[in-house]
Amino acid sequence: MKEIKAKLENPLSELISDDIYELLHSHGLIDEKAVRDYQIRKKFKQLRASKISAGDAIDAIREEYPYLQFDTIRKIVYQISK
């Protein structure tokens, strides 16, 4: 019997290939929270580049992540890289 494997959506496609993402994910080496934060920062930069105010950009992101507070998203987008 053939095994059908669902293809994972690669949220890091601009950084790593789909195959590498799947391999890392299958071994539990992907930090889902860090990937989510990366996507939030990326979306925030896109919104700000299109001349949307910071507050409105955070509100738009909150629609995609309703379980996050406004201040939590603000901390994510303004966190200084280490």
At a CB cut-off of 8 Å and minimum separation 6, what does 24 contact? 16, 30
Asked if residue 3 has pLDDT above 80, the reply is no
Cβ 57 vs Cβ 44: under 8 Å: yes
Q: How far apart are CA 46 and CA 51, in angstroms?
A: 9
List pLDDT tens digits, range 6-44. Answer: 567 899 999 999 999 999 999 999 999 999 999 999 999
Asked if residue 61 has pLDDT above 90, the reply is yes
Q: How far apart are CA 74 and CA 62, in angstroms?
A: 10
Asked if residue 2 has pLDDT above 80, the reply is no
DSSP for 7-47 reads PPP-TTTTTS-HHHHHHHHHTT---HHHHHHHHHHHHHHHH
